Amino acid sequence: MRQFDTKSKAIWTVVGAIGALLAVSALAFSLSSARSGATVAYADPIPSVTSLPEVRGEEYAVLTAPPHVPDPITRNHATRVIVELETIEQDMELAPGVTYNMWTFGGTVPGSFIRVREGDLVEFRLRNRHDSTVPHNIDLHAVSGPGGGAKASLTMPGHETVFEFRALHPGLYVYHCATAPVGLHVANGMYGLILVEPREGMKPVDREYYVMQSEFYTDSGFNEQGHHPFSMERALAENPSYVLFNGHTEALMGENALGANVGETIRLFVGNGGPNLASSFHVIGAVLDNVYPEGGTVANHNVQTTLVPAGGSAITEFRVNVPGDLILVDHSIFRAFNKGALGTIAVSGEDKLGIFSGQLDNRPYDPPTAHQH
Amino acid sequence: MVRLAALLLIFPLPLTSAAQAGVEGAGDPRAGLAAAAPTAVVRGGSYVPLYSPESGAVTVEPFRMDRYPVTRGDFVAFVASNPRWRRSQVPGVFADSRYLSDWSGDLEPGDRLDAPVTHVSWFAARAYCTWVGKRLPRVDEWEFAARADETRTDAMGDRSHKARILQLYTQRRTPLPPVGSTFRNLYGIHDMHGLAWEWVLDFNTVTAADDSRGGDRKDGQLYCAAGADGATDREDYAAFLRYAFRSTLQGTTTSAVLGFRCAADLE
């Protein structure tokens, strides 16, 4: 807004200087008043980085495996945050009895959750485990710089690379491997989320969870038992055999369901690793009170289904009002029913009959009689 | 160091130590064994590299290449005859600190003598090949020979063969199994895919970008080093993996999954 005001003032100065020339000044006035009108579209300022916050002290980032999220940041100043992340290649399950050679950040799919604060100077140390077969790197969408860090972090097996970036923008960001061929590295499981908490912090909630959707292209049908390799053909056709939350058909099902109690507030950090499909993210049995679409800072409210693009995210917040299971799905629904995109939040507590009754009756009713036709 | 390696390629100055090593090893019966490692003749031809000037074909002259990667057993003979290439004595400018780090001592590779030697630098690999009277294969030679399957000199136009190679790469395991564990191609060469990565003489002349999607151009080379942009076959994922791996290397680099084999000109 500041830039706009300056420009407007300058125009008025010009108007004053040529005030004696009536015709000209009238023209100038009409132009300037159009430009200084009260309503301006697309008027949000584009911030400039004039001064970086002072970095005080240093700490090691606590990384968590999904569905867990590191504790909120309590610092009120920027610091140097050291992130140590290791890429690990290993066979892992996609479903019970189905294995795939996963490439991971930190040994899990999705990779470790990273939490820093706006203004932090992040020292990123990427290690590629000695028994890895290929080089890896990392592109964090939170980074302002070439490749999101990919260029600076290309790491061969048995090596460690280090680069630094300033977390300029608050929000929830995807990170992923970007080594050639990038599609293969992502298809094999190399993605995760980094949260840059705004300087002001985030409103406390009762529970925070990390849920990330992604799809897998095996040379097999869904749930076909055994070890299966990547299918180039399926990947090019964008026709996955699996669409999953947190890398496994059962990652958020049964005893792995996310827990909550009636009345609690839940914040889901939702990501989509892709590599190809956008997600129609939906929680069956709940309305999302707050959604920060695409992981940005503007809230939408009372949302049923939010679109999470491949390589994008959403922060969703809602209160669980009644007991029972809430089901997470990709509402592009064949993916949920046939390809595994299912999760559960198991809500415990007392019934709230004023909000939801459950079934009250189940009775036959008479068909219409013939003479009514 | 990359530059130095490139210079060595263009002006193949023998490394002093390697040249001396050849003399030292001459009388060693084990050197004879290593030199006698079976080779296969690769009839020349042309092929289109993954990154190619103007996407054109490159001609490869006929050459000989080892049928198997150099093994731990072969390499212990080399370091026995050439003390300066022992783990405790190799200078840092010729090998990084992980050189032969999976051995228990200078002359003790432990078991798995038939497995490919790994944790060797380009300088060491090059010195070994010189010692046995050979040289490292050039990248075009290696890539050309690697296009063969059991029955065809160039199987890479076959999608199912491409898929098979990619599968071999992603099924690799450490510790590495003995040489000869993966398929023998038309030329009689084993283990081109699916055992270990292999050094080539000019490993650093063509590289995939460190960020595979960008538009980097390196040193004004003819290729665009973006992963896909500039590539001649966007579906040859196995080749992308090889080029990406080579792009991480320096002459001193060693890795648990990187070995080598030797080649020679046809007389």
pLDDT of the residue at B22: 37
Per the CB < 8 A criterion, the answer to whether B97 and B224 are in contact is no
- The total of other beta-carbon atoms located within 10 Å of residue B135's CB is 16
Per the CB < 8 A criterion, the answer to whether A123 and A83 are in contact is yes
For chain B, how many structural domains are there in total? 1
Q: Which of A102, A128, A131, A133 is the mutation pick for testing B, counting most B CBs within 10 A?
A: A133
For the stretch A294-316, pLDDT in tens is 999 999 999 999 999 999 999 99
pLDDT of the residue at B19: 38
Cβ pairs A/B, distance under 8 A = 107
CB contact under 8 A, A135 and B163: no
**pTM, to two decimals:** 0.85
Token duo for residue A145: 């710089």
- Residue of A154, A157, A232 with shortest CB distance to B235: A232
Question: How close B185 comes to chain A (CA, Å)?
Answer: 22
Give the domain range for residue B52: 2-265
What is the Cα B25 distance to its own chain's centre? 23
In chain B, the residue whose alpha carbon lies closest to the alpha carbon of A99 is B171
Per the CB < 8 A criterion, the answer to whether A269 and A195 are in contact is yes
Q: Which CATH number is B129's domain given?
A: 3.90.1580
Instruction: Write out the residues of chain A at the interface with chain B, using a CB-CB cutoff of 8 A.
Output: 101, 130-135, 137, 139, 146-147, 150-151, 154-159, 178-182, 184, 188, 219, 229-233, 236
Token duo for residue A282: 């939906």
Residues of A in contact with B159 (CB under 8 A): 232-233
Instruction: Look up residue B9 and give its amino acid.
Output: L
Question: How close A265 comes to chain B (CA, Å)?
Answer: 40
Residues of B in contact with A129 (CB under 8 A): none
What's the whole-number mean pLDDT along residues A123-137? Answer: 95
- Residue of B169, B210, B254 with shortest CB distance to A133: B169
CB contact under 8 A, A159 and B244: no
For the stretch B157-178, pLDDT in tens is 999 999 999 999 887 777 899 9
Give yes or no for residue A32 having a pLDDT over 70.
no
Give yes or no for residue B24 having a pLDDT over 70.
no
Q: Which of B213, B235, B242, B253 is the mutation pick for testing A, counting most A CBs within 10 A?
A: B213
Give yes or no for residue A26 having a pLDDT over 70.
no
In chain B, the residue whose alpha carbon lies closest to the alpha carbon of A133 is B257
Question: How close B221 comes to chain A (CA, Å)?
Answer: 18
What's the whole-number mean pLDDT along residues B121-126? Answer: 98
For the stretch A226-268, pLDDT in tens is 999 999 999 999 999 999 999 999 999 999 999 999 999 999 9
For the stretch B214-237, pLDDT in tens is 444 343 232 333 566 778 888 889
Residues of A in contact with B51 (CB under 8 A): none
Residues of A in contact with B98 (CB under 8 A): 158
H-helix or E-strand containing A34? helix A22-35
Residues of B in contact with A137 (CB under 8 A): 210-211
Instruction: Write out the residues of chain B at the interface with chain A, using a CB-CB cutoff of 8 A.
Output: 98, 159, 162-163, 166-167, 169-172, 174, 197, 208-214, 216, 227-228, 235, 237, 240-241, 243-245, 247-249, 253-257
* Three-state secondary structure call for residue A183: helix
H-helix or E-strand containing A295? none
In chain A, the residue whose alpha carbon lies closest to the alpha carbon of B226 is A180
Banded pLDDT at A116 (limits 50, 70, 90): very high
- Residue of A134, A159, A180 with shortest CB distance to B227: A180
- Residue of A101, A130, A135 with shortest CB distance to B170: A101
- Residue of B172, B212, B245 with shortest CB distance to A178: B212
Give yes or no for residue A37 having a pLDDT over 70.
no
pLDDT of the residue at B170: 81
